[in-house]
Structure 1
Amino acid sequence: MSSIKIRKATVKDAESIQKIYKYYVEKTAITFEIKVPTVNEFRLRMEEKMNNGFQKYPYIVAEENDEVIGYAYTSPFIGREAYNWSAVTTIYLKNNAIKKGLGRRLYEVIENISKVQNITNLYACIGYPEKEDEYLTNNSKDFHEHLGYRLVGLFNKCGYKFNCWYHMVWMEKILNEHKSIPDPVIPFSELSSKKLLELGLVE
């Protein structure tokens, strides 16, 4: 793991990230997306999140020997203004890079950034099987529990993929104190290079 660096993602990473995501669309029910987005679609998704230089939320990649082997980002929770201090996490690893501590490392960086941004609540939306099968296990839920997330909601049989109905669960982690007057959320694009380095990101 010492040879792996974590840095800010750019739209130039779209092809590498799409290749990682493609496996989960085609081979698993971890994502409920059924059709693999094209590289251009993925690039547009990234551009939307990065919002022409004003980037509210982090989008990061893990790189080993100049190859992207994982990525993570946060995004708005629901989208209403009162939810401003909450965010949703997303993480995907290259299939042969799982169970090596990379997921935990990416999450540590995302959580460190979110804390500095004054985000109070992080949420994870996770596919969850009624009975484990070849497409979906309890691993993601268990992984989040190990990181301190707790189950806060269950949606019954809300996703249909591979001729099977799957549940979805929401998990929550509290990062910061809920002040009577919360500090404003600091956009990711306003964090200095020095601060990002302290939080685990390299240039």
Structure 2
Amino acid sequence: MTLVRAVRADDLDGVAAIAAHYVLNSTATFAETPQTVAEWRERLGDLEGRGLPFLVAEADGEVAGYAYAGPWRPKPAYRYTVEDTIYLDPRHLGKGLGTALLGELVERAAKAGMRQMIAVIADAAGDGSVALHRRFGFVEAGRLSDVGHKQGRWISTILMQRALGPGAGA
């Protein structure tokens, strides 16, 4: 059974392990060094302080995926726009966890007063992520060519956007 819920401090070991897998083995993230559990704890504190959601999907008692809505940009005028981040334990791909996490993340970000959600998807590994976001009403807002360099190659990104909450325009 899968449960999507707010992350707890004792989930951060699992979150860090999932993130490290993608940092070290893929171009889905542009990070090159895995974050420590202490760094994840700081991120959790920052997101909680902003009233933004940080979720986990729990399957069989373990963290099977995570998602959070973080600030899109640091300037104050962007304070109602968030960027989503979603990663799944590779052992739990194809089980609907991405759908469960993104659905709950969109809902909670809207309840937190956010107006727009942005997805930045690396084109090299983005087909499944693009399809997931489209199912939730995200539309392509642009592409940035060769903006990241990882694993010896240049990587482009696809930007997708979705309005949140009542009265939020696209």
Q: Same fold by TM (over 0.5)?
A: yes
Match of 2:145 in 1: 156
Residue type of the alignment partner of 1:171:
M
Q: Map 1:65-104 onto structure 2 (within 5 A).
A: 65-104=60-99
Is 1:113 aligned to 2:108, yes or no? yes
Structure 1 gap ranges (5+): 130-135, 180-203
Q: List per-residue Cα deviations over 1:77-111 (Å, max 9, x = no partner).
A: 21323222211111111111111111011111111
Segments of 4+ in structure 1 off by > 4 A?
A: none
TM-score scaled to structure 2, two decimals? 0.90
Shift of 1:137: 4.8
TM-score scaled to structure 1, two decimals? 0.76
Structure 2 gap ranges (5+): none
Residue type of the alignment partner of 1:160:
H
Question: Comparing both chains, which one has the higher relative contact order based on Cα–Cα distances under 8 Å and sequence gaps of 6 or more?
Answer: 1
Match of 1:178 in 2: 168
The answer to whether the Cα contact below 8 Å between 1:17 and 1:71 also exists between their aligned partners in 2 is: yes
Cα separation, 1, equivalents of 2:153 and 2:100: 32
Aligned-pair RMSD on alpha carbons? Answer: 1.7
Q: Map 1:38-77 onto structure 2 (within 5 A).
A: 38-51=36-49, 55-77=50-72
Match of 1:138 in 2: 127
The answer to whether the Cα contact below 8 Å between 2:5 and 2:57 also exists between their aligned partners in 1 is: yes
Residue type of the alignment partner of 2:82:
A
Structure with bigger strand share is 2
Larger Rg: 1
Match of 1:34 in 2: 32
State the aligned residue count.
168
Cα separation, 1, equivalents of 2:10 and 2:46: 14
